[in-house]
Amino acid sequence: MVGLVGSIVDFKGLRTGLGMDVHALVPGRKLILGGVEIEHHLGLDGHSDADVLAHAISDALLGAAREGDIGKLFPDTDPRFEGADSLVLLGNVAEHIRCCGFEIIDVDSVIAAQAPKLSPYRDKMRQNLSQAMGIDIDNIGIKATTTEQLGYEGRSEGITAYASCILVKKQ
Ligand code: MG
């Protein structure tokens, strides 16, 4: 197996990335995760549309490419990004790291939220993320978990997203 993969990929060109993001849940805002508007009485607060999943994935990609983080690319002090569609930002991140010579191999993620139930929205989120990053839907994983009512997620004060990715540097 190692020999087979090694013959296709130069291991020195492989990079892993890790991203994490948190936004507060508040009344009067939309809940948008993976570009999907989810029915809920609370939404995520933030400068952009506060899509924690898209932000965590963006940071995983930028981390793997050693290109800083989403705050460096899209500062929340910049009025151009007020209310921004985070899928568009993720698309820009994917384009940026491709320009740096990287190809996205695989992305996995976890959303920690006490409510609402997210599994009905999973495939639509994967489809949106696939389109935004220009990779196959099979290479995008999304899992959701509660925190058993523990911590800020458990008290429905906020939602956390974690993401990991593998990139390869093109020769
Ligand atoms: Mg964020």
Structure confidence by residue, pLDDT tens digits, 120-134? 999 999 999 999 999
Ligand 1 centroid – CA 64 distance (Å)? 18
Ligand 1 centroid – CA 152 distance (Å)? 16
In 71-113, at which residue ranges do the beta strands (DSSP E only) sit? 102-112
Q: Is the pTM of this model over 0.85?
A: yes
Using DSSP's 3-state secondary structure scheme, residue 94 falls into helix
Q: What's the mean per-residue pLDDT of the chain?
A: 93
Q: Which residues fall within 8 angstroms of residue 142, CB to CB, at 6 or more apart?
A: 34, 53, 109, 110, 111, 122, 125, 126, 129
Q: Does the pLDDT at position 158 exceed 90?
A: yes
Distance (Å, rounded) from C-alpha 122 to C-alpha 89? Answer: 20
Ligand 1 centroid – CA 1 distance (Å)? 38
pLDDT (average), residues 139-167: 98
Pairing state between β 143-145 and 14-26: unpaired
